[in-house]
A and B are shown apart, each in its own frame.
Chain A
Amino acid sequence: MIKSKINTVEAIMVVLIISLTPSILSLPKNLIDTTRSSILINIIYVTIIAVAIAILIYKLLKNFSSSDIIDVSEYLGGKYFKSIIGTIFIIYFLVSSSWFLRNFCECLKIVYYPMTSVVFIIFAFIITTCLSSKLGFSTAAKVNIIVLPLLIFSVLFIFFANIRNFSFENIFPILGEGVFNTFVTGLGNLGAFTGIVILYFLPPFLKRPEDMKKITITTTIIAGIYLLFCVSIILFMFRFLLNVDEVMPLYYTTRYIEFGDFFQRLESFFLFIWILVIASFITINIRLSMEIMKKITNIQNVNSLVYSFGLIIFAISIFPKDYAVSKFLESTIYSYWTFGVSFALGIGILILANFKKRRSNHLPKQKEVLETND
């Protein structure tokens, strides 16, 4: 039984922070790479598919009332299976946090701390997020209500402040790298909807589980619209970013924002917001991992695990020997990783569990019919 429940708005924000945080780093550029100028069509297309997938997850989860994917795994395959699935999801949350943290800290180092080892910058984040994780999931979700709107505001601000630099003709050629790349290879961009993975764990946390459908659809649509803004900034502003790799494409665009001679160099303001976002993202991930750990091990007080998880994230973050490796992990491996865990594994378990449930509901009825016939 989870003590700290969250309301519907907090739940929406939690799902969105997981979905939207990767956009600070190289996600917009990775999305554009597959399809190039047809990215807007592609995002609309994958958003529709993501909404369909999210509704499917909702329908599949509905049959298990307030259970999450860990409970469903236990129902499907017993305790060992539950432990395996729980461990996979813990690894997923910790590893993705580590990769994002490392890459974000590399950017901070380049811009602000050229003489400081990236290890110390990561360490500062770890201490902060460990302390905030100790305050509980509900607290993290409440703080997130302040942080996430700042992220959305920052992207909208970048979009509207840079609109004078936009060339809307960059949308052409309309089909980008071709129909196949837009609609078939481009399906890989579904990996941008990472927030879907949170939906598997949300039901036990909700004060109003009946709002699950609303949360599912709202978060996926908001994530889709947000991604449209992110990729539009890069596509309309810098067609050359299709050929050149930037450390943080959105950060690069903030350097162009100027309002006369007085308001210049606003990028520090954006980096400050994004530091808060990354901290909130990692806190949510650590807290979710702790809740999963609690379920698979029956530990009563998981707060003592905070520092262990923090150290694991720290260790994985410093593991890549250079930025090239960490960038590869974040931009390439992460999308496969998300695809496998969020979509294939999660939906697979839910479908099989639903079959099992239907069968078990069906079998007693068959038995009854047979007995009546006899």
Chain B
Amino acid sequence: MTSFLKKFFIVIAIIIFLIAFSASYKSSNIGNLALVVAMGIDVSDTNKLNITFQFTNASSVSETGSSEKTEPTLFSIDAPSINSAINLMNTNIGKEVNLSHCKLIVFSEALASRGIQEEIFTLSNNPDIRPSTNIVVSKCTAKTYMKNSKPTLENLITKYYEVFVNSSEFTGYNSNATIGDFFYSMTCDACEPYAILGGISTQDSSSLSNSSSPKDSILESNFKPASGQNISENTGLAVFKGVTLVGELNEIENLCFMIVDNKVDGFLISIPNPNSRESISFIDIYMTPVLSTKIDAKIVNGSPFITINCNFSGRVYSMDENLNYSDSNALSQLSNSCSSYLESILSDYLYKTSKDFNSDINKLGKYIRKNFSTEGEYKDYNWSDKYKETFFDVNVDTSIKSSFLLTRT
């Protein structure tokens, strides 16, 4: 009798669990899911949100891992919030929208200027959204940006969204801005958020003037110097103060951001030739950080004073006739020129973030905290407002080692 009762209870328990857990299994079954690879958020004409979902067809990926190139599908919907848009989309497509494979979230510039606090908190509250999801502020509408984002060297759009910021480590012209970092910076008391600046090619880069350097790139995302199939651009940085977009950084400023943040492994710069008698007036140098950027922050007469020390080594790319990069004097002269050039662009960048934007995107506030003994003192100092009063002292030590294969011509 006891044995029968035992078996009976085991069967009952199995049936209960099968029924109880089948609903969750069904809801997360891949056959019932519509996988979103990117989501765009615009302001609609009725002042609601216009949410664009980019879906991928999961069946386009074959079992062997190879895939055919398929066009991703875009759906847009007007809704008062992200969650109601998802809900409406579920109804329209007959499947459950799933954001666990969402690689990119695009905000239009118009919405970002208005503030995206609610959207970021909502997305961060969603367990499906990965903190590593990239966040882009598009100079055009998010829908247009997504429509024009097409993988050129990748078969899958998901792969493209995953790798398009990889070049940041060796160019410094764009950044890996994620929603996790954005949320962190939004709620942190020592930093401000930033996003990748995206756009599509609408203006000619030759229309640009007012350049700090005649050679280095000062392009933002809607100025397209290159031509090809992919017309979306992801260069530069969208700077936020709190939750509101306050400014944009071009490519060389983005590089400065990456240098101060220790996120760049190498980058190319063009500096004025210290010896203008040479045939080339600008020299391209590939720089690599020798030591990570050292930052020290003090309070002098009530104002923050931040010292930034960088150390680079470089090799010269540019080559022409009658050049000698085996001469240590020439290399030393070049090193000095390079250091002063980098000091100049770094200072310009830092003062731009402090005076123009009052936005500490480099998290310099964390260095100032050591000047306070308690959280209360730090809070009273109000770093968020004091950042605009900051003075910077940038020291760059550069050592140009040589050129690459040719040292003397």
Q: Which residues of A contact B (CB under 8 A)?
A: 36-37, 110-117, 120, 123-124, 127, 167, 169-170, 172-178, 238-240, 243-244, 255-256, 258, 261, 264-265
Contact B377 A127 (CB under 8 A): no
Most buried by A among B17, B20, B363: B20
- Residue B369 interfacial (CB < 8 Å): yes
Contact A173 B369 (CB under 8 A): yes
Q: With the chains together, A169 CA to B370 CA distance in Å?
A: 8
Contact B26 A240 (CB under 8 A): no
Size of interface on B: residues with Cβ below 8 Å to A:
35
Interface of A is mostly: loop
Contact B24 A173 (CB under 8 A): no
Contact A256 B373 (CB under 8 A): no
- Which of B13, B17, B21, B130 is close to A255, meaning CB atoms less than 8 Å apart? B130
Q: With the chains together, A174 CA to B366 CA distance in Å?
A: 12
Query: Which residues on B sit within 8 Å (CB–CB) of A178?
Result: 374-376
Cβ-closest chain A residue relative to B369: A172
28 pairs, CB–CB < 8 Å, chain A vs chain B: A36-B375, A112-B24, A112-B28, A113-B21, A113-B24, A114-B27, A116-B24, A120-B21, A169-B366, A169-B369, A170-B366, A172-B370, A173-B369, A173-B370, A173-B375, A173-B377, A174-B370, A175-B373, A239-B184, A239-B189, A239-B190, A239-B366, A240-B184, A240-B187, A255-B130, A256-B180, A264-B132, A265-B130
- Residue B372 interfacial (CB < 8 Å): yes
Q: Chain A's nearest CB lies how many Å from the CB of B17?
A: 7
Q: Provided the pairs A110-B127, A170-B366, A258-B132 are in contact, do residues A176 and B374 lie with their beta carbons within 8 angstroms?
A: yes
Contact A172 B13 (CB under 8 A): no
Contact A120 B20 (CB under 8 A): yes
| Chain B 1-36 per-residue mask, 1 if CB under 8 angstroms from chain A, else 0 | 000000000000100110011011011100000000
Q: Chain A's nearest CB lies how many Å from the CB of B19?
A: 9
Q: Chain A's nearest CB lies how many Å from the CB of B366?
A: 4
Contact A117 B370 (CB under 8 A): no
Contact B24 A240 (CB under 8 A): no
| Chain B 111-153 per-residue mask, 1 if CB under 8 angstroms from chain A, else 0 | 0000000000000000100111000000000000000000000
Q: With the chains together, A336 CA to B162 CA distance in Å?
A: 47
Contact B180 A244 (CB under 8 A): no
Cβ-closest chain B residue relative to A252: B131
Contact B374 A175 (CB under 8 A): yes
Q: With the chains together, A47 CA to B189 CA distance in Å?
A: 30
Q: Chain A's nearest CB lies how many Å from the CB of B304?
A: 14
Q: Provided the pairs A120-B20, A256-B132 are in contact, do residues A239 and B377 lie with their beta carbons within 8 angstroms?
A: no
- Residue B55 interfacial (CB < 8 Å): no
Extra A-B contacts (9), CB below 8 Å, given A113-B24, A169-B367? A116-B24, A169-B369, A172-B369, A172-B372, A178-B374, A239-B189, A243-B187, A244-B187, A255-B180
Q: With the chains together, A120 CA to B20 CA distance in Å?
A: 7
